[in-house]
Structure 1
Amino acid sequence: MNIDIWSDVACPWCWIGKRRLDRALAAFPHRDEVTVTWHSYQLDPTLPDHDDRSEAQYLAETKGMPVEQVRAMVGHVAEQGAGEGLTYDFDRLVVANSMRAHQLIQLAKEQEDAGIVEHLEESLFAAHFEHGEDIGDADTLVRLATEAGLDTSEVLSELTYGSRIAAVEEDVRKAASLGLNSVPTFVLDMRWAVPGAQPTEVFTRALEQAWAASHPETPSFLSVDGAQDAEACGPKGC
């Protein structure tokens, strides 16, 4: 089974959704036969590498909401995150463009080691939402990517020349072609879409449904156009 995930490291619900999927996968009997592929998405590609506004100010201005309403909104997110063992700190959060982070995720995907991608995704989420680090800052990104297992020289080259920007943009276009306009979105075998940070039990049901559909216990035959009942023999005769 293949699971394609569209996500932005600047999206708090994406981390929560990942943790809930992780829990469902951990209990899934066929976990070793599931391949997870991460795809890039940018909620706000217009942001500079670093923005001096607080998260509350940024969201209030871009969404046209009162700051008090924004604080209540992120408070709800933090509460849901705490239920997954995550400690969101929106007061320390540094508003930044996520493009550079996505470039390094694309680089990690090329290593053919799912562990590197997993490590980098978790590190970027934690840096952004828990530790108040700047995910638009080159030094921060080099450290996180190197700790995840990427080669430092390749990381520096990507941040300098942006060779994988096209791959990020292609992921965004692919999302649009599939009709996906929010993150996180989890697509199972390119047939079932699970939108948002659903409860773990929803992911469990989705995994079971997708697996059953792709691994039927008995063959499911399709009718041939134009075929009608015709003479044949069975256990009771011809």
Structure 2
Amino acid sequence: MKVEIWSDVACPFCYIGKKRFEKGLANFEHNKEIEIEWKSFQLDPTLPEEGAMKLPDYMARQKGLSQTEVKAMFQHVIQMADSEGIEMKMEQINAANTLTMHRLIQLAKTKGLGEIAEEEFFKAYFSGKDFTNIAILLEICETIGLNNAEAKEVIESEKFSDHVSKDIYDARTIGVRGVPHFVFNDKYTVSGAQSSETFLGALEKSYKEWKQNNNA
């Protein structure tokens, strides 16, 4: 049974939601029968690729908040992440376009490495690594297990841009307005970083229906 997950590497709730989903999946009796596909989504595709500002300044400008309000918002997110075993260095993050990372994740998917790619790019982004630097991107790709030459070719071209665009188009087609967005068996949806129990319930309900249909 397939579970599709629309996500942006720059979304803290996507990373938190990933960990909570994984907890629910670990407690699901039939987890070996679940196929997970990560889908690209961009919260702000207008951001420049060079990362001209840090995330606190970007958030203050984007949402019309003071730096004090941004820090309070970040602290709430950091506490949520910490409860899931994630360290988030929000003030060190570059506010830059995530398209290249998404294209590399799409490359990884063709090698059966989509899951590890998603995790490693989340980890890199929220640890404040400079993902606008080609050398840093290639280091992450090496950790994932991607071929250096293939990864470099993707970074220096527009390869897999159409895959990213299609994922975003598909998201809009089904009414996705924010991420993370989970679709179970092409039918049931869970939006946001819900509890592991919510994800477990969605897995059980959709799996039961999927099993009945496949045994019919």
Give the TM-score, by structure 1 length.
Answer: 0.87
Describe the SS at the equivalent of 2:65.
coil
Code of the aligned partner of 1:43: L
Q: Which residue of 1 aligns with 2:189?
A: 193
Matched, 1:93 2:93: yes
Matched, 1:124 2:124: no
Which structure dedicates a bigger proportion of its chain to helix?
2
Code of the aligned partner of 1:89: K
**1:65, distance to aligned residue in structure 2 (A):** 2.1
Code of the aligned partner of 2:56: A
**1:92, distance to aligned residue in structure 2 (A):** 1.4
Whole-angstrom distance in 2 between the partners of 1:163 and 1:63: 33
Q: Find 1:141's aligned residue among 132, 137, 148.
A: 137
Post-superposition CA distance 1:105-140 (Å, at most 9, x none) = 0101111x2xx222221111111112x112232211
Code of the aligned partner of 1:172: I
Q: Which runs of 4+ in 1 moved over 6 A?
A: none
Whole-angstrom distance in 2 between the partners of 1:124 and 1:106: 12
Whole-angstrom distance in 1 between the partners of 2:15 and 2:132: 18
Unaligned 5+ residue runs, structure 2? none
Give the TM-score, by structure 2 length.
Answer: 0.95
Whole-angstrom distance in 2 between the partners of 1:58 and 1:39: 25
Q: Which residue of 1 aligns with 2:26?
A: 26
Higher RCO (C-alpha 8 Å, min separation 6): 2
Code of the aligned partner of 2:117: L
CA contact (8 A) 2:7 2:38 kept: yes
**1:74, distance to aligned residue in structure 2 (A):** 1.4
Post-superposition CA distance 1:128-159 (Å, at most 9, x none) = 112x1122322111111122111111111111
Code of the aligned partner of 2:53: R
Identity value in percent: 36
Q: Which residue of 1 aligns with 2:57?
A: 57
Whole-angstrom distance in 1 between the partners of 2:208 and 2:101: 36
Q: Which residue of 1 aligns with 2:178?
A: 182
Q: Which residue of 1 aligns with 2:210?
A: 214
Whole-angstrom distance in 2 between the partners of 1:159 and 1:122: 19
CA contact (8 A) 2:38 2:115 kept: no
Unaligned 5+ residue runs, structure 1? 221-238
Whole-angstrom distance in 2 between the partners of 1:43 and 1:134: 19
Flag the structure with larger Rg: 1
CA contact (8 A) 1:4 1:37 kept: yes
Whole-angstrom distance in 2 between the partners of 1:9 and 1:33: 26
**1:216, distance to aligned residue in structure 2 (A):** 3.4
**1:56, distance to aligned residue in structure 2 (A):** 1.3
Whole-angstrom distance in 2 between the partners of 1:149 and 1:67: 39
Q: How large is the Cα RMSD of the aligned pairs? A: 1.5
Post-superposition CA distance 1:65-95 (Å, at most 9, x none) = 2222222111111100000001111121122
Whole-angstrom distance in 2 between the partners of 1:57 and 1:3: 35
**1:175, distance to aligned residue in structure 2 (A):** 0.2
